[in-house]
A and B are shown apart, each in its own frame.
Chain A
């Protein structure tokens, strides 16, 4: 995909990328001649398609971690598998940095989150193979909203937000 500044007949250049935020990537293009700017806003499916190719809009500055794509995109993964953007003890000085689309990356569980008994019970009712994924999503939502406790109501809000 390329953008052309029609008045200048000049290809536009990427100036900035933001996100993904709520599944949307913002890419700002500018005309090098007249400085006119346009923003490309992707929908979640478009973002995911780009992500599935393991490339970064705006350019990748450094190679990704080994298995960075798998480690950052699997919804449920063994606890002992280190996150792609976090070096292990044996990797001190590792030159690799995090892979593209950090906002989609696997979230470290918020161990400080407090779950009410009712909410914890509801969490336990979620099938085991997606429970960890759901837990992380709800805890992230609660953290964003500044909630101190995760209640059944917070779970409902998160569900409505995620559309599940």
Chain B
């Protein structure tokens, strides 16, 4: 009697062919994007999404065509931070037109599909009770569709804002094996850095993804009266952690209420308060990311760091 491997094909569904078609569509779309960079964290709440929004602003300021994909399907925030909530989505034969953010950034987020502030991402299915069987696959398929079905056009850089968790890198790399780099955001706290170490291991050792470097957010509080720096956390120096993990250290972003205020207002702080210490730090970090990506010097020099 024949065994599984004796039988060619799958009785007519051609599931492999369907998946291959999906991948081809994704490849064709991504071929128009020069650099794809994922930003992730180990733990949640480290301010990764704010960093993404401001890196996007920094590269847009340099004249680059930038896209932002909010890959945090269940906790989307980029639409709010980049001021595109409520924009009407347009669907055409060639794909969905992304929302347009500051400086012409192209933005896609699950938030653009949800009807109200309180609406969580729920899938129409049998029952949410059995969701643990299939929810992960729904999210990966959604991410694949966001990448492949958005009419991004020609982009110089696509930044992907990943949700927290070390499992996100393998999922993303299964879709985007040509990823140009991973940036990891952490806090100067032992707990945050503990998980970052795991993310670096997954990215660097297991998935062989290029780690562009580590950014330390909320590095210090600046006194509003005298400008003196005071530590917010008592954890380890992230630069030392980066050295220990043999990955570049991209820089520190001080805690600044203007940073969160600007995010709430839908404009990156780098655009609303360009001379703020956080803005200067973010601009310098963007320059280092550009160097790590080996961007053409003309792009890096297009605008001086403020």
Contacts and interface: CB of A to CB of B under 8 A. Distances in A.
A95 B93 contact: yes
Given A54-B141, A104-B124, A129-B116, A29 B11 contact: yes
A76 interface: yes
A141 interface: no
A160 interface: no
A150 B137 CA distance: 36
**What size tier do the contact residues of chain B reach?**
35 or more
Nearest to B91: A66
B123 A75 contact: yes
A129 B120 contact: yes
Interface stretch (B38-46, B126-134, B244-252): B126-134
Contacts of B14: 59
Given A2-B4, A3-B11, A77-B113, A104 B145 contact: no
A146 to B, nearest CB: 23
B10 interface: yes
B140 to A, nearest CB: 8
Contact of B92 (A1, A2, A91): A91
Contacts of A133: 122, 124
Nearest to B21: A63
B4 A45 contact: no
Nearest to A90: B92
Contacts of B19: 53, 55
A9 B123 CA distance: 41
Interface stretch (A80-88, A111-119, A151-159): A80-88
Given A4-B2, A48-B133, A69 B141 contact: yes
Given A59-B14, A63-B25, A76-B122, A91 B93 contact: yes
Contacts of B15: 55, 57
Interface string B92-120: 11111000000000000010111110111
Given A59-B12, A77-B113, A130 B122 contact: yes
Contacts of A13: 11-12
A100 to B, nearest CB: 9
Interface in A129-164: 129-130, 132-133, 163-164
B7 A2 contact: yes
A70 B130 contact: no
Given A13-B11, A81-B113, A133-B124, A66 B95 contact: yes
A28 to B, nearest CB: 11
A109 interface: no
B91 A65 contact: yes
Interface in A10-57: 11-14, 23, 29, 44-45, 47-49, 51-57
B192 interface: no
B11 A2 contact: yes
A1 B13 CA distance: 10
A76 B114 contact: yes
Given A48-B133, A70-B142, A9 B2 contact: yes
B96 A66 contact: yes
28 contacts: A2-B4, A2-B7, A12-B11, A13-B11, A48-B126, A53-B19, A54-B22, A54-B141, A55-B13, A55-B15, A56-B13, A57-B13, A59-B13, A66-B94, A66-B151, A67-B96, A68-B149, A70-B145, A73-B124, A74-B113, A74-B122, A76-B114, A78-B114, A81-B113, A91-B92, A96-B93, A129-B116, A129-B118
Given A13-B11, A59-B12, 11 more contacts: A12-B11, A23-B126, A48-B130, A52-B141, A54-B144, A55-B15, A55-B18, A59-B18, A69-B142, A128-B116, A164-B127
